[in-house]
Copies of this chain bind each other. A is one copy, B any other.
Amino acid sequence: MLRIPRPVTKVKQSPITARKAPAQARSRRLVSDILEAAARVLAREGSRRFTTERVAEEAGVSVGSLYQYFASKEALLFRLQTDEWQDTWAILDEISRDTRLVPLERLRKVVIVFFRSEQQEAALRVALDDSGALFRDAPEARAFTALTRQRMRDFFKELLPGVPADKQEFAADVVLTAMAATAEKVTVQGLDRRTVDAWAKANAEMYCTYLEALLRLAPSRRR
């Protein structure tokens, strides 16, 4: 979900990226073990009980080892967050480029898939958000958000031909933010798949209607 970073009073200065690039395969394995364990602990115990000790135990390593690969608890959480974003947006990016569908159909599909993806990761996300105040503002997070935002704006150029660039961009922001925010709020409620799909469809409908209205207002040199 498109997370919009926000200003916070105090910004931690310590690096929250990985302490060391896992050069060996063994290290890479260890890192992913820890990340998976962390995800499990977060989902199972909640952010309140998400402690380095518990994560290490779940991963079958010592706390010391955990700190060998993650500079801090915060860094671990950040990595978890980032990984989740990457997975989700890779899929959406792909759909948005699928030329076999007309643009509005692609948007509909993006919305549906996004809601579903959010649903699956809801438990993790909730816990993540509870600890989220810690790194919402890391530069890495900003960079990632900027990237996805750019990609989606490109998609909206296709969706709104003939519409001035600034309006295109704003529409993209409006729709994507609505989608991300709504999906987050909705999936967090633990609804079943059918209900989530209904929400997704209604939202997709709303966005499409809106974009069509925008198109209608455009200088329409559209043929």
A: which residues have CB within 8 A of B? 4-10, 43-49, 126-127, 129-130, 132-134, 170-171, 174-175, 177-178, 180-182, 184-186, 188-190, 198-199, 202-203, 205-207, 209-210, 213
In Å, the complex CA distance between A96 and B84 comes to 39
Whether B8 contacts A189 by the Cβ 8 Å rule is: no
* A141 to B: closest C-beta gap in Å: 13
Whether A10 contacts B46 by the Cβ 8 Å rule is: yes
Residues of chain B within 8 A (CB-CB) of A49 are: 9
Residues of chain B within 8 A (CB-CB) of A199 are: 174
Whether A5 contacts B181 by the Cβ 8 Å rule is: no
Whether A6 contacts B202 by the Cβ 8 Å rule is: no
Residues of chain B within 8 A (CB-CB) of A132 are: 130
Whether B174 contacts A181 by the Cβ 8 Å rule is: no
Whether B185 contacts A133 by the Cβ 8 Å rule is: no
